[in-house]
Amino acid sequence: MATLETGDAKASETSQPTPLCHDSGKSIDDRVSDLLSRMTVAEKAGQLFQDMIIMGPGGTFAGPSPDFGFVGTEEVLQHKLMTHFNLLGPITDAKVTAEWYNSLQRYVLERTRLGIPVTLSTDPRNHFSENIGTGFRAGTMSLWPETLGFAALRDADLVEKFADIARREYLAVGLRLALHPQADLSTEYRWARIGLTFGEDAQLAGDLVQAYIRGFQGKQLGKEGVATMTKHFPGGGPQMNGEDPHFAYGREQAYPGKNSDYHLLPFMKAIEAGASQIMPYYGMPVGTEYEEVGFAFNKEIITGLLKNKMGFGGIVCSDWGLITDAQILGQDMPARAWGCEALSEEERILKILDAGCDQFGGESRPELIVNLVKDGLIPESRLDESVRKLLREKFTLGLFDNPFVDADAAAAVVGNAEFVKEGKMAQRKSYTLLTNKNNVLPLGEADIKTKSVYIEGIKPSVAEARGLKVTSSPSEADIALLRLRCPYEPRPGGFEAHFHAGSLEYPAQERVRQSKIYRKVPMSIVDVYLDRPAVIPEIADQSNALLVSFGSSDDAFLDVVFGADGIGPQGKLPFDLPSSMEAVMKSREDVPFDTEAPSFHFGHGLTYKD
């Protein structure tokens, strides 16, 4: 493929930039201005796109991948002149990942005219969830509960400690931009993205978002910091009927309670904490004073509200895939240009830039911008406005001074014993105890070894390693230990199936199956992993003890059940648990705590001392 060179005089230059932009003794503003003055339109256009990138086997450069629409490493670096990438897939070898990252930086230094360093970004990585569109399992990194678990603990200091540990692990392998935290509020309980929020209460979420940003960025972003991209402005929680706007049926965001300001509160806190970047969501507001187009296309939202009214001066990066139709994991995915479907690709770019966004997420189409400048539809000065911000962040992070990492040291930092220990303790503490009839918990670990135990959702090897006598038949068991997933309705499609959506109660057949276990087994202890607020009053009624968790291992569950080392559940619910789906469907999408007669209220959580 031909390069994006524009054919102007600057494009023909082969000399390296003068030392000013690489001179750390000069101010960042001077260095940015110097570099910007030397860039071609094609080089500027490349900065305005951030797309996924894949590491090839053994740390090699990956070629094109139809699963993710990736066009190949060398193509995006040398021909599309891009320098911002979102790393896909779990990190299973920190040293190999660090070496691959260094090879990216070496490539752009040696093979591109200006040697602008790469900024490598990532969705959350230190948790249990796995979804190509939202986050990845921890791999070799320290493993912590989802952010809902931090909300359950109400501990801003712990959130800051977690973010600081994650920052150090990110730095070790070259990750310099966190595509998180997720500051959305869980006011529509069916929404598939609740698991990575801080729950339903705006004040709590705002406080924890601030702690999260402090841990990653420090008091002021610098060379040891990881920039954060707070999302999804102006709050993705109020999705109509809880459907997600990755998909056309979920494109509408509704405010029947006229409560949009409530959803802005965590973003105001993020801005106060110095959030470097903000991402607007896919959804389009309906029934409001705003234009009914996706938020990144919406000038009243991005420029009028976020920039002018709320005073945000950082980088605004769109959510992924607003311009180009694509295919992800074999599923056709139209561009999420909600309300702007009739616009051409070029018209979508113009509208997003006019709205005030600085960068296009999930796209590798800088040639469109080059053509728009050539045709006089975008002034080069508009590119400069956004490129200046993007370059400034690279200088602030120290990437121009030293873009490389110590690959040998990476393995010693990522997933080290102290970090892993802290993550395991957080998993245990974040357990939330909803019922404990006759104080059956904690169980005596010595006593239970004389009894037969029926297990679900626990690896038999883990149970047997604890000395439990496992039986496969509930009728032969003295105790049942069940680890269940939050209910959802499976969706089709290679990509869509990863989003847990729809009903929050178990199907009738599953409720009957569980009920038989509770009747047959004298004592049943249940743990439900909540990535959304489940409708489970029948489990609370029929089991002897009901715990909920937000990302934890089997060993963490058994430690809590046995009260090992004095560890007991310390969590408090980060949202209400509704009593019925009827109550959920009657509630207003934008209003917190709006379901009638919830089974358990926000803040409920017992301890073994209660």
- Residue range 547-579, pLDDT digits in tens: 999 999 999 999 999 999 888 999 999 999 999
Please check the confidence at residue 422 and state whether its pLDDT lies above 90: yes
Q: How confident is the model at residue 503 (pLDDT cuts 50, 70, 90)?
A: very high
Domain count within the chain: 2
Same domain, 552 and 433: yes
Contacts of 94 (CB under 8 A, 6+ apart): 140, 172, 173, 410, 411, 413, 414, 415
Query: Across the chain, what does the average pLDDT equal?
Result: 93
Please check whether residue 441 is in contact with residue 433, taking contact to mean a CB–CB distance below 8 angstroms: yes
Q: Radius of gyration of the chain from Cα atoms?
A: 25
Please check whether residue 221 is in contact with residue 394, taking contact to mean a CB–CB distance below 8 angstroms: no
Q: Does residue 607 sit within a domain?
A: no
pLDDT value of position 19 = 42
Which residues share a beta bridge with 512? none
Query: Alpha-carbon distance 387 to 601, whole Å?
Result: 47
**Percent of the chain at pLDDT exceeding 70:** 95
pLDDT value of position 565 = 87
- H or E element at residue 538: helix 537-542
Compute how many other C-beta atoms are within 10 angstroms of the C-beta atom of residue 223: 15
Same domain, 304 and 368: yes
Structure tokens at 300: 């009243």
State the number of CA atoms in the 13 A half-sphere of 453 facing the CB.
Answer: 26
Query: Alpha-carbon distance 500 to 494, whole Å?
Result: 13
Task: Compare 26 and 595 and report the one with higher pLDDT.
Answer: 595
Same domain, 252 and 311: yes
Compute how many other C-beta atoms are within 10 angstroms of the C-beta atom of residue 342: 7
- Least confidently predicted of 479-483, 495-499, 546-550, 557-561: 495-499
The per-residue b/e assignment along 139-165, b for 16 or more CB within 10 angstroms, e otherwise, is: bbbbbbbbbbbbbbbbbbebbbebbbb
Same domain, 333 and 433: no
Same domain, 485 and 344: no
Peptide bond into 232 cis (omega under 30): yes
Query: Alpha-carbon distance 400 to 420, whole Å?
Result: 32
Please check whether residue 466 is in contact with residue 537, taking contact to mean a CB–CB distance below 8 angstroms: no
CATH code: domain of residue 468: 3.40.50.1700
Same domain, 319 and 391: yes
DSSP-assigned letter for residue 565:
G
Nearest residue to 118 (alpha-carbon basis) of 84, 75, 88: 84
Q: Does residue 325 sit within a domain?
A: yes
**Percent of the chain at pLDDT exceeding 90:** 87
Please check the confidence at residue 14 and state whether its pLDDT lies above 50: no
Inter-CA distances, 171 with 196, 220, 397, 411, 592, Å: 22, 16, 11, 12, 37
Same domain, 165 and 274: yes
Nearest residue to 595 (alpha-carbon basis) of 470, 504, 500, 479: 504
pLDDT value of position 25 = 77
Please check the confidence at residue 112 and state whether its pLDDT lies above 50: yes
Please check the confidence at residue 218 and state whether its pLDDT lies above 80: yes
Q: Does residue 52 sit within a domain?
A: yes
Please check whether residue 70 is in contact with residue 53, taking contact to mean a CB–CB distance below 8 angstroms: yes
Instruction: Give the mean model confidence (pLDDT) for residues 343-350.
Output: 98
Q: How confident is the model at residue 70 (pLDDT cuts 50, 70, 90)?
A: confident
Please check the confidence at residue 449 and state whether its pLDDT lies above 90: no
pLDDT value of position 15 = 39
Q: Does residue 598 sit within a domain?
A: no
Q: Does residue 591 sit within a domain?
A: no
Please check the confidence at residue 132 and state whether its pLDDT lies above 90: no
Catalytic-labelled residue, pool 155, 319, 527, 531: 319
- H or E element at residue 412: helix 407-413
CA–chain centroid gap for 128, Å, is 12
Please check the confidence at residue 128 and state whether its pLDDT lies above 90: no
- Least confidently predicted of 322-336, 507-521, 564-578: 322-336
Inter-CA distances, 93 with 100, 133, 137, 464, Å: 11, 22, 13, 30
Instruction: Give the mean model confidence (pLDDT) for residues 419-423.
Output: 96
Query: Alpha-carbon distance 65 to 329, whole Å?
Result: 10
pLDDT value of position 135 = 54
Instruction: Give the mean model confidence (pLDDT) for residues 334-353.
Output: 97
Contacts of 261 (CB under 8 A, 6+ apart): none
Query: Alpha-carbon distance 361 to 498, whole Å?
Result: 20
Q: Does residue 599 sit within a domain?
A: no
pLDDT digits (tens, 9 = 90+) for 459-473: 999 999 999 999 999
Compute how many other C-beta atoms are within 10 angstroms of the C-beta atom of residue 394: 24
Same domain, 151 and 287: yes
- H or E element at residue 104: helix 94-111
Same domain, 291 and 226: yes
Nearest residue to 569 (alpha-carbon basis) of 426, 459, 453: 426
Query: Alpha-carbon distance 111 to 74, whole Å?
Result: 10
Q: Does residue 245 sit within a domain?
A: yes
Scanning 9-93, the segments in alpha helix (DSSP H) are: 28-38, 41-47, 73-74
Compute how many other C-beta atoms are within 10 angstroms of the C-beta atom of residue 23: 14
Which residues share a beta bridge with 545? 436, 525
Instruction: Give the mean model confidence (pLDDT) for residues 446-451.
Output: 84
Please check whether residue 184 is in contact with residue 197, taking contact to mean a CB–CB distance below 8 angstroms: yes
Task: Compare 6 and 46 and report the one with higher pLDDT.
Answer: 46
Q: Which of 404, 436, 469 is the last residue of a domain?
A: 404
- Least confidently predicted of 303-307, 365-369, 404-408, 562-566: 562-566
Q: Which of 556, 571, 586 is the last residue of a domain?
A: 571
Q: Does residue 587 sit within a domain?
A: no
Contacts of 152 (CB under 8 A, 6+ apart): 145, 199, 430, 432, 550, 571, 572, 573, 574, 605
For the question of residue 319 being annotated catalytic, the response is: yes
In single-letter form, the type of residue at position 232 comes to H
Same domain, 443 and 366: no
In single-letter form, the type of residue at position 401 comes to D
pLDDT value of position 3 = 36
Please check the confidence at residue 5 and state whether its pLDDT lies above 60: no
Compute how many other C-beta atoms are within 10 angstroms of the C-beta atom of residue 571: 28
pLDDT value of position 133 = 52
Structure tokens at 311: 């005073």
Instruction: Give the mean model confidence (pLDDT) for residues 35-40.
Output: 97
Please check the confidence at residue 136 and state whether its pLDDT lies above 80: no
Same domain, 186 and 294: yes
* 3-class secondary structure, 554: helix
CATH code: domain of residue 167: 3.20.20.300
Q: Which of 404, 437, 461 is the last residue of a domain?
A: 404
pLDDT value of position 131 = 53
Tokens 């060179």, residue located: 5
Same domain, 292 and 348: yes
Parent domain of 483: 428-571
Burial of residue 599 (CB within 10 Å: 0-12, 13-18, 19+) is buried
pLDDT value of position 139 = 79
